[in-house]
Amino acid sequence: MPVAAPPPAWLATGVALRIPFVATAAGTAELVRVAPGPQAVVAQDDVAPGARSALATTPPADGRYRYRLVLPGEAARAVALRVRPVSLAAVGDVSPGSAIADVRRHGPSWHWAKVGAWLRSRDLVVANLETAVGTGGTPWPDKPFHFLSPPATIRAMARAGGVDVVTVANNHGVDFGRRTFASGLRTIRRAGVLPVGGGTDLPGALAPAIVVRGGLRIAFVGFDAYPPFGFWATAGRAGLAPGTVAAVRTAVTAARTRADVVVAYFHWGVELHTTPNAKQRRLASAAFAAGADVVLGAHPHVLQPVRSRSGGRLVAYSLGNFVFDPGSAVAHRSAALAIDLTKDGVRAHHLRRVQIVGSRPVWR
């Protein structure tokens, strides 16, 4: 086959369509846009037999495109392409361990029954995993609450909830010690979910997860800016990515070199406060200055403002609860944040409201 791989069925807005091939004859290879009209040659290359080459074009707008691929010595081929933004859903605190009685009573997928279909229809879902993961360990001393979620709940989060990426950088990630934390990272990955904001050492905790959707490379990083700060990783100790300006600059700058879009998820703020504080604003500014396109937040257990910034950027200071036993009447109202991403950043966003009924999210 002269074409190295089938052309993609869809691409994210702003991503180039690239068709690699091996020429079977000498001549001019052309990629012709057939629709929307007028018909035009959008890429061409003069090739020799056996030469490797590629034809590329960037569709100028969203929509459905038809191309004709003409290779020397070959019959022309039709290429159909849809161009649209990547749909990202971001949710707040997910902690089956905070509602373990409901898990035991109803099963690990029960929490996702009312919201899972919509989440699975998104291209990507990211959440704050507000819990240790495993079946045992030693509770961290001098903490009033310890959350531990069984592995089955993580598999359900992936399959029934459609969650692709989680930040583990929060004040419950190491609730049952560093050994349980490290094994929990392996459990998360085995479930098909990418963890960020934690690792077996500091470089691992700061490392991004890179996900590609529609040819768009999206990097996720996570940071913990809430005590106990003993949870933080060091060069030789497992733990969380520190929520400091220096760590944010390091991680976001590195992620930016590998991705088209960077999403930074923070654990910060004051519980039940509906407005961000100075520290939240300072860390958000540091993330944007280092190259982040989207800044997300959790910990307050209630919604805080969602604000657009210039240059296709967005900050959601707190996404509230999602799968969580709220413990407070005001923390029962929350939302999922739907974001449309292009190569230029955030195209659009909206909140889809939820009510936490018991510990299960239900669309409002």
pLDDT (0 to 100) of residue 1: 53
Point out the residues of the chain with pLDDT beneath 70.
1
Q: CA nearest 182: which of 143, 137, 243, 146?
A: 137
What is each CA distance from 138 to 141, 148, 150, 154, in whole angstroms? 9, 11, 15, 20
pLDDT digits (tens, 9 = 90+) for 216-249: 999 999 999 999 999 999 999 999 999 999 999 9
pLDDT (0 to 100) of residue 222: 99
pLDDT (0 to 100) of residue 162: 98
CATH 1.20.1270.360 fits 10-84, yes or no: no
Residues of the chain with CATH 2.60.40.10: 10-84
pLDDT (0 to 100) of residue 352: 98
Q: How close are the terminal C-alpha atoms of the chain, in Å?
A: 52
pLDDT (0 to 100) of residue 295: 99
Which two three-digit tokens encode residue 259? 């991705």
Which ranges in 43-169 belong to alpha helices (H)?
100-106, 116-120, 151-159
**Cα pseudo-dihedral 71, 74, 80, 81, rounded to 10:** -30
- Which pTM value belongs to this model? 0.97
pLDDT (0 to 100) of residue 327: 79
Q: Which residues pair with 222 in a beta bridge?
A: 265
pLDDT (0 to 100) of residue 275: 98
Considering the domain 86-363 in this protein, what is its CATH number?
Answer: 3.60.21.10
Provide the sign of the torsion angle of the four alpha carbons 273, 275, 277, 282, taken in this order. Answer: positive
